[in-house]
Amino acid sequence: DAGVTQSPTHLIKTRGQHVTLRCSPISGHKSVSWYQQVLGQGPQFIFQYYEKEERGRGNFPDRFSARQFPNYSSELNVNALLLGDSALYLCASTLLATEAFFGQGTRLTVV
């Protein structure tokens, strides 16, 4: 079975640009959540989606948005990028109230 896959692996963007990150969950997992991990810190919860509906949002500005598609894959969008958005973005898929399985992450660098 394929695990959680994220694309791209690495990305370099300029301040003010927009970025889209993608995630495919484990087959059969209907819940996807997104996390931001700044270097030296623990992952911070951004969004959770279940059955294409937003079920939770962390303390992030409106520049961050996400959606989930009928096949349960998900996109995270960030507008008007700031230097502080540079981080490892992790996607996790879960099967109901169980452990989260994380993808390898997308490392975003904003210059």
Binding region for another protein (CB under 8 A)? 31, 33, 35, 41-45, 48, 50, 55-56, 58-59, 90, 92, 94, 96-105
Residues 6+ apart with CB under 8 A from 63: 78, 79, 80
Least distance (Å) between residue 39 CB and another protein: 10
Least distance (Å) between residue 88 CB and another protein: 8
Cα–Cα distance for residue pair 72/12, rounded to 1 Å:
26
- Token code pair at residue 46: 């951004």
Least distance (Å) between residue 84 CB and another protein: 19
